[in-house]
Amino acid sequence: MTIAENVFPRRQAFSGSGKKLFRTLTVTLLLSTAFGAQAKLDEANKVYKPVAPTIEQARANILIARQLQFTHFRDLSINNQLSDEVFNAYLDYLDGQRIYLTKQDISKFDNVRPQLGSALKTGQLQPGFDIYNLVQERIIGRLKFALNVIDQGIDKLDFSKDESILLDRSKADWEPDTAALDELWIKRIKNAVLAQRLNGTDDDTIADNLKRRYEGQLKRAYQARSEDAFQAYMNAFTGMWDPHTSYFSPRVSENFNINMSLSLEGIGAVLQSDNEYTKVVRLVPGGPASKQGQLQPADRIVAVGQGDEKPVNVIGWRLDEVVDLIRGPRDSVVKLEVIPANASDETVTKTISIKRDQVKLEEQSASKDVIHLKRDGKDYNVGVITIPTFYADFQAMQAGDPNYKSTTRDVRKLIGELEQNDGIDGLVIDLRNNGGGALQEANDLVGLFIEQGPTVQIRHANNEVQVMKDEDPSVAYDGPMVVLVNRMSASASEIFAGAIQDYGRGLVVGSQTFGKGTVQAVRPLNHGQLKITQSKFYRISGGSTQHKGVIPDIEIPSRIDKNRIGEDALDHALPWDQIEAVPHTRYFDFSNVIGELRKRHDQRFAKSPDFKLLQREIDFLNKQREQDSVSLNEDKRRSQYNQIERTRLTIANARRELHGEKPFDSLEALEKWQDAQAADLDKTDEEMDFVIKEGGYIMADMLDLDHNMASIITPHQFAAQAPAK
């Protein structure tokens, strides 16, 4: 059958002008086919043009090396050992999953590997560019191979073999040669096909999706620029000092917002490069992504679409280009296809639609609530203040506005309202998911709960220690406190929680915090900018918040994977250490009661349906995370997939029943409901989550022990103990 017969099998039905139309369409189709064949031929004959370093880049390299050696907090020499580490980090950046290079390729740079340090000192960039160019050539070769496999038909792939594929190859051995890589890539393609088949996608659509993915990556590889190689090489170099020290190219430096925090104008998310993916680091409180609720930290973005348009695959794209694609006009919709953080493998994706908007200061503001509890015939009112971020309206402040908004001012006002309207017996400060913000606000907020004294120590690269203090003797609240934290509580949140813990002003409850205890500054170069770590935070008790974070007095398990999120999950993170403590008041010693408080908490959680469900979900997620490979046998894979989906539905329905809601009939019904919930940006949480309630129960335990044990001081006396010795 000809092309024309395939499209118009009933040729005899055309007459008159219809015949003319048919001939036109036939010629058009034939020309289209000819052009398509020519395009494939052109693509096959296309040659990668190696990129080369510039004089400006060489000068910038020398300046970066000097800054790192003489001004970074970490004292690190550029020597042969560093050369080897830079080489490995660079390969991890360019081929983190070890799917492009072979052992034979790596051996080509045996002579270069030990010389990278001295070359980077003097601006000799060619060795790094040679490595980059080889990787780009290998990427192009691999993608052409993948496209050829798909062109032969995915129906030719055998899914009956008892095969499996490693999910994370970052620690795997390099394949010995090209033939071994061919086998690996066939497995990768089979894995991608299976993942989409299990989602109900037909083979024609799967083939089209994969072709678009690989063709997009191939196009990016051919468009490699000198600046791409330089930025990748410099970030492998700067990353040796710590993960927060990095180089920004002139293109990235154009926008201060992107340069300093990578905050995406429009959806409110902080991103970073993660090998060939773009990874979500955290969500900006009050932003569209946070309110929408589906995008989560550690999700990896693989495609971006505008409105109803088909998403563009962004695997292998530069971070600034992904940012440009996500940003857009207010009220427009961006679609993100992501690999969820808890996905069983990298071929499992979901699509999230987010309406772009500005992050309003008032939506990040502190808010209040009250927990009413009854314990042994006694009524307790526990105030709750939720602080999404440490904010301050600096523009209004500089303009002299007496009513400018800030965390401390708002919290002081909320405390007054709680005490006046509700007569609270205790206070819970919720810092979960608070990624930090204005350092001065953390200092001032501590001051609301102590009379006077130090709040945090800052040690600089020259070992000089600066102590920030609360100079205001007034206290906004002197009663018992609980501070809630989790793994996403970072920086300023850790300073506040650590100070409250060190002063004995309250109990810290939740999970170990992020551990971000460093301070960065951005310094201009002749070509781009360098963000460099220059200082480190220490608690007033002397221990750093870096790496270790704040350890809660009472721990509550979390769904967040500590092995993937947190400072101690980052390569070359500065270690925890300690300096001398500074004199400070110890308002209360919890050592006499903490054992009993933990015991009561454990007993309560053992009976709590909410906690049992949370633990069940954590166990399910941990089991998924422990899976290091997936089967490529379709029957086995489908069985595993169905089991996972049944568990998801079971857990979701258990939560529905717990709240007196009708369970879902199917997974499709659950996903439809989740999409509807995510689309409703005006929704509010009708029921206070059980972790906040547990904070209230712990507070009631503290008050109960206070009433029944002579060694426990009353809430009024809570801030009147002698200084620690």
Active site residues: 491, 502, 516
d(CA 546, CA 664): 44
SS3 182: helix
Residue 482, token pair as written in the block: 């609980």
Residue of 310, 299, 304, 248 lying closest to 269 (CA atoms): 299
Using the CB atoms, write b or e for 25-53: b if 16+ within 10 Å: ebeebeeeeeeeeeeeeeeeeeeeeebeb
| Phi/psi at 247 (5° precision) | -100, 135
DSSP letters, 559-617, are: SS-TTTSSGGGSTTPPPP-B------B----GGGTHHHHHHHHHHHHHH-HHHHHHHHH
Residue of 346, 278, 261 lying closest to 270 (CA atoms): 261
Strands 367-375 and 554-555: unpaired
d(CA 79, CA 535): 24
One-letter identity of residue 41: L
d(CA 722, CA 503): 11
Residue 696, token pair as written in the block: 């209230």
Is residue 628 within 8 A of residue 157, CB to CB? The reply is no
| Phi/psi at 329 (5° precision) | -65, 145
Please, is 334 exposed, middle or buried when counting C-beta atoms within 10 Å of its C-beta (0-12, 13-18, 19+)?
buried
d(CA 93, CA 277): 11
For the four alpha carbons of 124, 126, 129 and 134, in that order, the dihedral sign comes to negative
Q: Cβ contacts of residue 83 below 8 Å, gap of 6+?
A: 113, 114, 115, 116, 117, 118
Three-state secondary structure along 642-671?
HHHHHHHHHHHHHHHHHCCCCCCCCHHHHH
Q: Cβ contacts of residue 649 below 8 Å, gap of 6+?
A: 664, 666, 667, 670
Residue of 67, 40, 74, 249 lying closest to 147 (CA atoms): 40
Run of H or E residues at 315: none
d(CA 624, CA 341): 11
CA dist 469 → 99, 412, 576, 605 (Å): 52, 18, 23, 38
d(CA 419, CA 423): 4
Residue 32, token pair as written in the block: 């289209």
d(CA 583, CA 725): 8
One-letter identity of residue 85: E
